[in-house]
Amino acid sequence: MKIHKNDNVVVIAGKDKGKTGKVVKAIPKEDKIVVEGVGMVKKHQRPTKSGQKGQVIEKAMPIHVSNVRLADVKKPKKEKATKVIKKA
């Protein structure tokens, strides 16, 4: 996997196409990553203690690595996606 934790990425496919964010967590076994502010889902949480109310929490869900590209490091203002090529 070419994308690692703390990399800046641009989403190129899916409902959040065009958004940018920082990789919070990488899951290499599943080829997925968690990007802050991307793939947000509302989860209903039960009360953990008696007398406490249940709540709705927004949580960032993992997205597949093929749906993101690294953000251009040389031109951070443009926020364009770049291809990564590994040279031998």
**Residue 70: what are its φ and ψ, rounded to 5°?**
-65, 140
Q: What are 10-45's pLDDT values in tens digits?
A: 999 999 999 999 999 999 999 999 999 999 999 999
Q: Looking at residue 50, which CATH number applies to its domain?
A: 2.30.30.30
- Flag whether 85 is in a domain: no
Quote the mean pLDDT of the chain.
Answer: 88
| Whether residue 75 has pLDDT greater than 90 | no
How long, in residues, is the chain? 88
Residue pair 68/9 in contact (Cβ under 8 Å)? The answer is yes
- Flag whether 48 is in a domain: yes
Residue pair 3/71 in contact (Cβ under 8 Å)? The answer is no
- Flag whether 45 is in a domain: yes
- Tell me which of 1 and 63 has the higher pLDDT: 63
Q: What's this model's pTM, rounded to 2 decimal places?
A: 0.79
Supply the range of the domain harboring residue 23.
Answer: 8-73
Query: With bands split at pLDDT 50, 70 and 90, how would you rate the model's confidence at 79?
Result: low
d(CA 60, CA 15): 13
